[in-house]
Amino acid sequence: MSEFERNLISERAKAGLEGAQRRKKLLGRPTGSSPVSIEKYQYGKHLYDNKNIPIDKACEQTGICKATFYRIDKIH
């Protein structure tokens, strides 16, 4: 009985995914950084380069974490 229920749930999930793909819905985690994060990174980078503020303080002032700062820095 439980195997039948599992198969039924699996079939419904697959049908839902196929329907979403037909409607051109984006599935999964978004790729890339948001424009807001990129703006905050650029301001933090400006503070770090021109004002000689440590990255910790620049990130704190801009409202992004250091991991985000370094991830965007790696791309740009």
pLDDT > 90? residue 75 = no
Q: How do residues 9-51 score in pLDDT, each as one tens digit?
A: 999 999 999 999 999 988 888 788 899 999 999 999 999 999 9
Q: How many domains does the chain have?
A: 1
pLDDT at 26: 86
Q: Is the pTM of this model over 0.85?
A: no
CB burial string 27-56: b at 16+ within 10 A, e below: eeeeeebeeebbebbeebbebbeeeebeee
Domain that holds residue 20: 2-75
Residue 54 has a pLDDT of 94
Tens-place pLDDT, residues 30-40? 788 899 999 99
Residue 71's pLDDT is 93
